[in-house]
Amino acid sequence: MNIKQRLTLLSFLQFFIWGSWLISTGGYLFSLGFKGIEIGSVYSTLGIASLIMPALMGIVADRWVNAERVLGFCHLVGAGALLFASFIKDPALMFWVMLFNSMAYMPTISLNNTVSYKILSQSGYDIIKVFPPIRVWGTVGFIIAMWFVDLTGLASSNGQFYVAAAAAILMGLYSFSLPACPPSNAEKKGTMAESLGLDAFVLFRRKKMVIFFIFSMLLGAALQVTNTFGGSFLSDFRADFPDSFVVKHPLLMLSLSQISETLFILTIPFFLKRFGIKIVMLFSMLAWVLRFALFGIGDPGAGLIFLILSMVVYGMAFDFFNISGSLFLEKETPSNIRASAQGMFMMITNGVGAILGGIGSGWVVDYFTKNDIKDWAMIWMTFAAYALVLAIVFPIIFKYRHYAEEDLVSMSKANH
Residue 10 confidence (pLDDT) above 90: yes
Q: Is residue 191 part of a domain?
A: no
Compute the distance between CA of residue 92 and CA of residue 29 in angstroms, rounded to an integer: 12
Same domain? For 89 and 174 the reply is yes
Q: Mind listing the pLDDT tens digit for each residue in 230-270? A: 777 887 898 889 889 888 888 889 899 988 988 888 888 88
Q: Is residue 61 part of a domain?
A: yes
Same domain? For 145 and 69 the reply is yes
Same domain? For 205 and 350 the reply is yes
Domain containing 361 equals: 199-410
Q: Is residue 285 part of a domain?
A: yes
Residue 276 confidence (pLDDT) above 80: yes
The SS3 call for residue 369 is strand
pLDDT at site 85:
97
Q: Mind listing the pLDDT tens digit for each residue in 87-144? A: 999 999 999 999 999 999 999 998 999 999 999 999 999 888 899 899 889 989 999 9
Same domain? For 161 and 289 the reply is no
> Which carries the bigger pLDDT value, residue 116 or residue 369?
116
Q: Is residue 204 part of a domain?
A: yes
Q: Mind listing the pLDDT tens digit for each residue in 344-367? A: 787 788 788 888 887 787 778 778
Task: Quickly state the pLDDT bin for 185 (edges 50, 70, 90).
Answer: low
pLDDT at site 324:
80
Q: Is residue 296 part of a domain?
A: yes
Cβ–Cβ < 8 Å for 266, 132? yes
Which of 57, 118, 128 lies closest to 340, judged by CA? 57
Last residue of a domain, one of 131, 156, 182: 182
Which amino acid belongs to residue 340? Answer: S
> Which carries the bigger pLDDT value, residue 66 or residue 262?
66
> Which carries the bigger pLDDT value, residue 70 or residue 200?
70
Dihedral of the alpha carbons of 344, 349, 354, 360, in degrees to the nearest 10: 120
Same domain? For 163 and 286 the reply is no
Which of 102, 29, 112, 175 lies closest to 323, judged by CA? 112
Compute the distance between CA of residue 247 and CA of residue 300 in angstroms, rounded to an integer: 8
> Which carries the bigger pLDDT value, residue 201 or residue 416?
201
Q: Is residue 374 part of a domain?
A: yes
pLDDT at site 17:
98
Last residue of a domain, one of 152, 182, 212: 182
Same domain? For 272 and 400 the reply is yes
pLDDT at site 412:
37
pLDDT at site 404:
54
Across 378-406, average pLDDT: 84
- Considering 55-64, 73-82, 333-342, 359-368, the range whose residues carry the highest mean pLDDT is 73-82
Q: Count of H helices and E strands in the chain?
A: 17, 2
**Helices (H), ranges, 64-155:** 67-85, 91-122, 127-151
Work out the angle between the directed axes of helices 91-122 and 304-332 (0-180°, nearest 10).
60
Residue 196 confidence (pLDDT) above 70: no
Residue 186 confidence (pLDDT) above 70: no
Look up the CATH number of the domain holding residue 254.
1.20.1250.20
Q: Is residue 188 part of a domain?
A: no
Compute the distance between CA of residue 237 and CA of residue 304 in angstroms, rounded to an integer: 12
**Mean pLDDT lowest for which of 143-152, 237-246, 326-335?**
326-335
Residue 298 confidence (pLDDT) above 90: yes
Cβ–Cβ < 8 Å for 55, 343? yes
Same domain? For 165 and 255 the reply is no
Q: What percent of the chain has pLDDT over 70?
A: 91
**Helices (H), ranges, 186-337:** 192-195, 207-235, 245-248, 250-265, 268-297, 304-332
> Which carries the bigger pLDDT value, residue 74 or residue 150?
74
pLDDT at site 29:
83
Q: In this structure, is the dihedral angle defined by the CA atoms of residues 28, 32, 33 and 35, taken in order, positive or negative?
A: negative
Average of per-residue pLDDT values in the chain: 85
Work out the angle between the directed axes of helices 159-175 and 127-151 (0-180°, nearest 10).
150
Residue 12 confidence (pLDDT) above 70: yes
Same domain? For 153 and 294 the reply is no
How many domains, the chain? Answer: 2
Same domain? For 203 and 176 the reply is no
Last residue of a domain, one of 148, 182, 216: 182
Using alpha carbons only, what angle is made at residue 281 by residues 139 and 200, rounded to the nearest 5 degrees?
85
Residue 408 confidence (pLDDT) above 60: no
Residue 409 confidence (pLDDT) above 80: no
pLDDT at site 402:
58
Q: Specify the pTM.
A: 0.75
Compute the distance between CA of residue 32 and CA of residue 37 in angstroms, rounded to an integer: 14
Which amino acid belongs to residue 199? Answer: D
Which of 150, 153, 172 lies closest to 70, judged by CA? 172
CA gyration radius, the chain: 21
Compute the distance between CA of residue 70 and CA of residue 107 in angstroms, rounded to an integer: 9
pLDDT at site 2:
93
Residue 415 confidence (pLDDT) above 60: no
pLDDT at site 188:
53
pLDDT at site 293:
97
Same domain? For 252 and 390 the reply is yes
Same domain? For 218 and 91 the reply is no
Residue 299 confidence (pLDDT) above 50: yes
Same domain? For 148 and 221 the reply is no
pLDDT at site 327:
80
Q: Is residue 416 part of a domain?
A: no
